[in-house]
Each structure stands twice: as C-alpha cells, then as structure tokens.
Structure 1
Amino acid sequence: MAKILMMYASMSGNTEMMADAIFDYINEAKHEIVIKSFDFDPIDVQEMTDYDGILIGTYTYDEGNLPYEVEDFYEELDDVKLSGKIIGVFGSCDSFYDTFGGAVDTMEERVIERGGRLCGEGIKVDLEPDKKDIERCQKFAEVFLKKVNEYHK
C-alpha cells in the first residue's frame, strides 16, 4: 500500500472538485492518502520526502500564473530533493486566456528540476469539471497509482 500526499489550491472550487475525484479513487483503492489545502493547512516541503507519491493541484491565475497561495511552496521547493518521488500535477484553467494551464506546466517543470518523476502529463480542466473531466481525473489517479506501485516494488 502506497503512502500518498495530495496538496491543492482552489479559488472557485474547481480544482477542489478535481482533488476530490482523485482522492476518492485513491482512497477506494485502499492506499493511504493525506490531503492538504494550500489555503488552510501548514505545508512543510520536507514532509514530501515521507511519501511514495505526491499530487499537487493548482488553479491557473490570470495569464498562466501560479496563484499566490502556491508561490511560497514553489519557492520552498528549492529546499527539498524529490529524487525517486512520483508526482502528478493537476488543476483548473480558463481557456479565455492565451496560456491555458500555465500554473500546471510551471509546477511540473519545478518538480522535475528538483528530481521528481512525473507520472505523465498533468491534467488540466477548463473551468468547472464536468462528468467527462471527473472520469479523466479518475484515470489520472489510476495511472498515478500504477506508476507509484511500479517504482516502489
């Protein structure tokens, strides 16, 4: 059984809906998962090393930017090595802007710089997730767990 940490930021509730769908899938698969919100929970980047897999959810603000709630975490990633950690990144975006899901891309680049291994391409949803998007989130969680299990055998 894998030990998973999920952290997310959600302004309108859209990324939270994605996080809930991913959490439910992993929880039903009987893996240990801890969920934290960048808005409300203390997050110490060093604790990431205690987990087999890490999920990071971030909405994209304005023209592709990280939200302010995630900026400190992003900077603090300089203080941790993520070598051997399987990481998945997800978030809600708005296709109105020229840069769709820039925060997801930025976070993926950052975790790769720190030695993390992406479970695959991050998942981006345009605004509020619909039924198909929730199914995509569940598939994302399935692929994530498969990668975590493969790496930690």
Structure 2
Amino acid sequence: MKGRVIMKAKIVYASLTGNDEDIADMLEEDLQDYGFETDSSDVSFADASEYEDADLCIFITYTYGEGTMTDDLADFYDQLKDIDLNGKAFAVMGSGDKTYGEHFCENVFDFEKAFKKCGAKEITAPVTIENAPDDDDIALIDQAAKEMNEKLNG
C-alpha cells in the first residue's frame, strides 16, 4: 500500500501580548493531529524564504493601533514580496482590537495580499480574532485547520 504524502506546514507568527502565539500553538496542534509536519517560528527569528520548503504557508499577526507595521513585521513583509510561492497554499490569521474600527486586523489583510502577489493560493478565509481567543475563536481556528486538511489531503 502506498503511503500518504506528508504535507509540510510552516507557521510564522508575530505576537506582542502572547495572543497570536496562542493562536499559532492551537493551529499547530490541530495540523499535527491531521498529520501535517509543522514548523513554527516567531517572526523575529524567521525568514520568508523558509516558506519555499513548505506546502502550506501560514502567517499569524497582530495589528497594532491603526495598522502601522512594527519593524519585525515590515522586514518580514518586505522579504515576502521578493519570493515566489507559486504552487503553495497559504492562510493568514491574527488578532486586533475592534476599537480601531476600520484598522481592525489590517495587517492580516496586508499579508493576505502579499501572499497572493507571491503566487500562493489562499486555502481558507482569514481568521480574525479580537484580542485573546475565546471559545468561539478556538472553534474558528479548528474549522480553518479542518479546511486546510480537507483541501490539501483530500
């Protein structure tokens, strides 16, 4: 019997308060349960080129204030714009504060656009969470992981 191909997921997260690291941990655990080989890194210690070795590229970020990217985020964003991710799947998630209105989770959508420009195919809708994930948000993360698995592993 032929073995199933193990899909590789690279998760890069940016976390100021720990909320996005929690999201990354939950998603990583879900993907491992589906049989993905996962690698997770803080954006400060990651290079966008690491996505080139993955089947599934995931970026989880916070949006600070009115959407201005911190230096770590801006550096990674600039790196991302210079790589070719044709044939790769991607997903974006993140947290924000709804008191910032139209800027809520703005960086999540900035990275969504950047991945599309790199040629990657969006595999699930962006997951946006206000502040720390609650039970409803955890269900959204679980559902996104399920969609990623169904689309990549059939």
Deviation at 1:33, TM superposition (A): 0.3
* Structure 1: runs of 5 or more not aligned: none
Partner of 2:146: 142
% identity of equivalent residues: 30
Partner of 1:35: 40
Partner of 1:125: 129
Deviation at 1:66, TM superposition (A): 2.8
- The number of residue pairs the alignment matches comes to 148
SS in structure 2 of the partner of residue 87 of structure 1 = strand
| TM-score, with length taken from structure 1 | 0.91
CA-to-aligned-CA distance 1:48-86 (integer Å, 9 cap, x gap): 111111110000111123333211110012321011110
Asked if structure 2 preserves the Cα contact closer than 8 Å seen for 1:91 and 1:125, the reply is yes
Asked if structure 1 preserves the Cα contact closer than 8 Å seen for 2:81 and 2:117, the reply is no
| TM-score, with length taken from structure 2 | 0.90
Distance 1:58 1:138, change over 3 A: same
Residue identity in the other structure for 1:70 = L
Distance 1:67 1:143, change over 3 A: farther
SS in structure 1 of the partner of residue 10 of structure 2 = strand
SS in structure 1 of the partner of residue 60 of structure 2 = strand
* Structure 2: runs of 5 or more not aligned: 1-5
Where does 1:82-121 land on structure 2 (aligned, <5 Å)? 82-98=85-101, 99-121=103-125
Across the aligned residues of Structure 1 and Structure 2, the Cα RMSD in angstroms comes to 1.3
